């Protein structure tokens, strides 16, 4: 990508080096006193342990010192800022054409683990979007994984990952996410999974719509970028991920779509540049 001198987004929240802190683990002071009293009375306190302990709760994040990033991490952060800014430019123009105002989401950089309004997440789960706080969460070590474990290196592969999460934000803004969640409550697991696949493929298609807009309007893409994006779309298909992690493919547990499907929908968005081309819910054939 041609990222030199581009606008960088200010909607980045840097929580690297911070850790979610679990509180309430073990005994409260009152609980300890209660158990001591029981022991003094000659009563075995063990059956009461469950009463005296509190369930673990995550309440805040703490950092001992400011995060020191390496030169490589600084480059990745800058790329992330540029790509996020470009998705803002694209969707700020595109969405109002459909009568929806685009509210720019925050992108949270984290390392190891992070607390979101959707719960605490570990890096191993990969990047995600939380509709409750409208934030995208990325541990940039995922980019290494993408390159080394899934064989999809390159800055555009990384951009694709961000654009896919932003696609989920768009789904949230236009109300698709809410509709899907409501429908999923009324159906069985296999059907709910199929709706999740359609959601994911639509986010891939929206990533393609962004790429189209970035290329046409701001000349962000360079030769080879589209191939990088397609490789990433195919690399992180559920069938590939499952094969990597479980050694076999289980179609009913798919929640992101196969490599082939992800590539197809990313391409559809990329070639059309139109969000309405991303109707994965109305499509007979994914």
**Residue placing its CB nearer to Zn ion in the complex, 90 or 203:** 203
Question: How far apart are CB 126 and Zn ion at their closest, in Å?
Answer: 9
Pairing of strands 128-130, 135-138: antiparallel
Question: How far apart are CB 152 and Zn ion at their closest, in Å?
Answer: 16
**Residue placing its CB nearer to Zn ion in the complex, 197 or 203:** 203
3 state DSSP class of 6: coil
**Residue placing its CB nearer to Zn ion in the complex, 102 or 137:** 137
**Residue placing its CB nearer to Zn ion in the complex, 155 or 200:** 200
Interactions with Zn ion, residue window 178-207 (CB under 5 A): 200, 203
Contacts of 245 (CB under 8 A, 6+ apart): none
**Residue placing its CB nearer to Zn ion in the complex, 3 or 196:** 196
Number of neighbours of residue 104 by Cβ within 10 angstroms: 17
Contacts 24+ apart (CB under 8 A), 41-48: none
**Residue placing its CB nearer to Zn ion in the complex, 85 or 203:** 203
On whether the CB atoms of residues 94 and 166 are closer than 8 A, the answer is no
Question: How far apart are CB 200 and Zn ion at their closest, in Å?
Answer: 5
Question: How far apart are CB 256 and Zn ion at their closest, in Å?
Answer: 6
Question: How far apart are CB 94 and Zn ion at their closest, in Å?
Answer: 19
Question: How far apart are CB 47 and Zn ion at their closest, in Å?
Answer: 45
Distance, in Å, from the CA atom of 217 to the CA atom of 142, rounded to the nearest integer, reads 29
Question: How far apart are CB 164 and Zn ion at their closest, in Å?
Answer: 6
Distance, in Å, from the CA atom of 148 to the CA atom of 135, rounded to the nearest integer, reads 27
Sign of CA dihedral 212, 200, 243, 261: negative
Nearest to 168 by CA among 124, 137, 189, 193: 137
**Residue placing its CB nearer to Zn ion in the complex, 89 or 200:** 200
Q: How many residues interact with Zn ion (rule CB under 5 A)?
A: 2
One character per residue 200-239, x = contact with Zn ion (rule: CB under 5 A): x--x------------------------------------
Contacts of 105 (CB under 8 A, 6+ apart): 11, 129, 134, 135, 136, 166, 169
Interactions with Zn ion, residue window 246-285 (CB under 5 A): none
Q: Which residues of 270-284 are buried (b: 16+ CB within 10 A; e: fewer)?
A: beebebebbebeeee
Binding site for Zn ion (CB under 5 A): 200, 203
């Amino acid at each position: 990508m041609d990222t030199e001198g581009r606008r960088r987004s200010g909607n980045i929240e840097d929580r690297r080096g911070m850790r979610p802190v679990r509180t309430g683990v073990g005994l409260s002071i009152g609980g300890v006193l209660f158990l001591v009293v029981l022991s003094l009375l000659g009563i075995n306190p063990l059956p009461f342990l469950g009463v005296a302990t509190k369930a673990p709760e995550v309440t805040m994040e703490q950092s001992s010192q400011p995060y020191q990033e390496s030169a490589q991490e600084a480059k990745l952060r800058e790329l992330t800022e540029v790509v996020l800014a470009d998705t803002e430019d694209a969707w700020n123009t595109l969405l109002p054409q459909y009568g929806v105002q685009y509210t720019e989401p925050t992108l949270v950089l984290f390392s190891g683990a992070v607390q979101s309004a959707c719960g605490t997440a570990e890096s191993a789960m990969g990047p995600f979007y939380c509709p409750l706080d409208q934030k995208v969460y990325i541990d940039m070590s995922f980019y290494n994984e993408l390159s080394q474990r899934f064989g999809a290196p390159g800055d555009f592969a990384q951009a694709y990952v961000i654009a896919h999460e932003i696609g989920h934000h768009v789904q949230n803004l236009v109300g698709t996410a809410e509709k899907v969640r409501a429908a999923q409550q009324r159906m069985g697991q296999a059907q709910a999974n199929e709706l999740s696949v359609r959601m994911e493929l639509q986010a891939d298609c929206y990533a393609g719509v962004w790429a189209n807009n970035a290329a046409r309007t701001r000349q962000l893409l360079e030769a080879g970028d589209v191939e990088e994006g397609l490789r990433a779309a195919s690399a992180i298909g559920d069938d590939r991920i499952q094969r990597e992690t479980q050694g076999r493919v289980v179609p009913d547990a798919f929640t992101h779509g196969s490599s082939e499907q992800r590539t197809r929908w990313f391409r559809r968005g990329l070639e059309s540049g139109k969000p309405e081309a991303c109707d994965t819910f109305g499509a007979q054939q994914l």
